[in-house]
Structure 1
Amino acid sequence: MNWITNYVRPRINSIFSRREVPENLWSKCTECGTMLFHRELAENLNVCTSCGHHMAITPRDRFKALFDGGVFVEVKVPEPVADPLHFRDQKKYPDRMRAAQRNTGEHEAMLVAEGEIGATPIVAAAQDFSFMGGSMGMYVGNAIIAAAERAVTLKRPLILFSAAGGARMQEGILSLMQMPRTTVAVQMLKEAGLPYIVVLTHPTTGGVTASYAMLGDVQIAEPNALICFAGPRVIEQTIREKLPEGFQRAEYLLDHGMLDRVTRRTDMRDELITITRMLLGLPPAVKGSLPRPEPATDDIPAPVQEPALENPAPSQQKSKTTKPKAESKE
């Protein structure tokens, strides 16, 4: 027993056998500070299991939870002109685009898909706030028009999930022109008599709120989502007054009539199925019900009948008992 055996050798073994723990196994809730295991958080659709705070979720993960079996087909969106204004601030616009594509793994700030929810065919579009703040550029305008045209062609309702910081400044006036373009696309749905449902997520601001995000037949929001045109800080600096608690949050707008529902993300799928089928005049979806199988009559053998005996044995003959006639009394 010496210090080499007791200390040096275990120390060397621990250094070389140490396994690195991935950094993305745990996430910290920005609202309550609880450390959440990544699998548990993903199963709860990025909603904190401790305080119920709704964290950001990508459109692809949202669609996997929305569509039946997580199966959907992406709708092709026409490509706009790249960097039409040759804009540059601290970086060139194409460099910012490539960085956003590398960080998010998506081509642009909106994903359009088609599939079924509760056996009801729909077309859906969702913005990705992690892609340059979900800003509305020409591609987003093309995506909404493509989604509306696809919905009209297939005669399906359109469900849109908004999350944006407003118009994309790198495209200037061309970005602002997407406001009337998307408004016309929504009008196409209304003229075709198709439902248009908007789910406003945190945050939905600027020109997105001033156009397609507030034109839905039904307006639903996630809890505590910021929904506004100008942010509360800008308004406070302008009017130099303190705003009410929860001003421009989803619950505040619901109380003042700007929203129809505030629904948790974990309940959103069932809510959208119910509303969509109601607007289409379909019967309510029945959960977990399957048609009862018909009995297979061809495979069931017929019961075997015993042949009748010509001369049954005396024991098998039924004894007939006759009652004696009552003697008549004269």
Structure 2
Amino acid sequence: MSWLTRVRNSLPFVAKRETPDNLWVKCPRCHEMLFAKEYEENLSVCPRCDYHGRIGADARLGQILDSGFELLSEPVVQEDPLKFRDSKRYTDRLKQARASNPHRDAFQSGFGTIEGRRAVVGVQDFMFMGGSMGMAVGQAFCNGAARALKERCGFIVCTAAGGARMQEGILSLMQMPKATVMTRRLREAGLPYIVVLTDPTTGGVTASYAMLGDIHIAEPDALIGFAGQRVIQETIREQLPEGFQRSEYLHKHGMVDMVVHRKELRQTLAGVLDYLSPAKAA
């Protein structure tokens, strides 16, 4: 045994403290290391560069609805109707997604109030298989709209999706007209349908219920579009402008009604509900 080892073993070294893995969060835009508690208290918005981080359905519902809201039950649909398999079986992908998510699929709805205004709020969770639209998502959307019709209140949907769920093929695409019918029923009933576009909202979701609202609100710098920028450039063979498919660009060109910071979203939604909700629908 060397003298260095003997000295080291004889000294009263303090045991190394374990640091939790979730103590810090790295901002995807400015790459600053943020204290996780501070980041969450700031509604998952970077206090340095104002980047709006992606959040789950439960966090989103808690930020928008007043406390004590009712979480609507999740629909039961046939799973893996096409017996789909790519590099993995679809059933295995669902199990993997559910292992890291408190819910069975990518769309959750809650009924309650927003600063005292009654509303049903539906949230698409990008953390569950990219928020992809399958039969469960389509049915959950329709159930939320049906509850709004029953309660005679507004229906607010926060979108976040990479598009249709390819593992369900044509059955996934059929959710587009199915959801569209429900938005028409809301309009015929004189009830507000408000869409909050969050990062990212793309594909079949954008081609259906994400762009059929009475009012379209977007979070800052959210990616919103149908096809990807590279695909569009190769199709039209032209260079696209800076910030194409981002909230601010779409607002400037009339595709979005307003861009609202997450801290102001709840108050804005309450004001819009006041404006759009007729007295007879209350």
TM-score tier by shorter-chain length is over 0.9
2:61 to 36, 60, 63: 63
Tell me the CA shift for residue 4 of structure 1.
Answer: 8.7
Partner of 1:327: none
Partner of 1:9: 10
> Which residue identity is paired with 2:143?
A
Aligned residue runs from structure 1 range 22-101, under 5 A: 22-69=20-67, 71-101=68-98
* 2:272 equivalent to 1:275: yes
> Which residue identity is paired with 1:8?
N
Structure 1: distance between partners of 2:10 and 2:112: 60
2:176 to 179, 201, 206: 179
Partner of 2:144: 147
Aligned residue runs from structure 1 range 95-244, under 5 A: 95-244=92-241
> Which residue identity is paired with 1:9?
S
> Which residue identity is paired with 2:16?
R
Partner-residue secondary structure (3-state), 2:100:
helix
> Which structure: larger Rg?
1
Tell me the CA shift for residue 77 of structure 1.
Answer: 3.5
TM-score of the superposed pair, with normalisation by structure 1: 0.81
Structure 2: distance between partners of 1:78 and 1:56: 24
* 2:251 equivalent to 1:250: no
> Which residue identity is paired with 1:220?
I
Structure 2: distance between partners of 1:138 and 1:237: 32
User: Does structure 1 retain, via aligned residues, the 8 Å contact 2:74–2:104?
Assistant: no
> Which residue identity is paired with 2:146?
E
Tell me the CA shift for residue 236 of structure 1.
Answer: 1.7
> Which residue identity is paired with 1:130?
M
Identical positions, percent:
51
Deviation by residue 1:282-323 (Cα, 9 ceiling, x = unmatched):
7xxxxxxxxxxxxxxxxxxxxxxxxxxxxxxxxxxxxxxxxx
Partner-residue secondary structure (3-state), 1:68:
coil
Deviation by residue 1:15-57 (Cα, 9 ceiling, x = unmatched):
xx22210111101111011111111000111100000011101
Which structure has more relative contact order (CA 8 Å, sep 6+)? It is 2
When structure 1 is superposed on structure 2, of 247-256 and 273-282 the one drifting more is: 273-282
Instruction: Give the unaligned 5+ runs of structure 1.
Output: 283-330
Tell me the CA shift for residue 7 of structure 1.
Answer: 4.2
What is the count of residue pairs matched by the alignment? 277
Partner-residue secondary structure (3-state), 2:45:
coil
Partner-residue secondary structure (3-state), 1:13:
coil
> RMSD across aligned C-alpha pairs, in angstroms?
1.6
Partner-residue secondary structure (3-state), 1:27:
strand
Instruction: Give the unaligned 5+ runs of structure 2.
Output: none
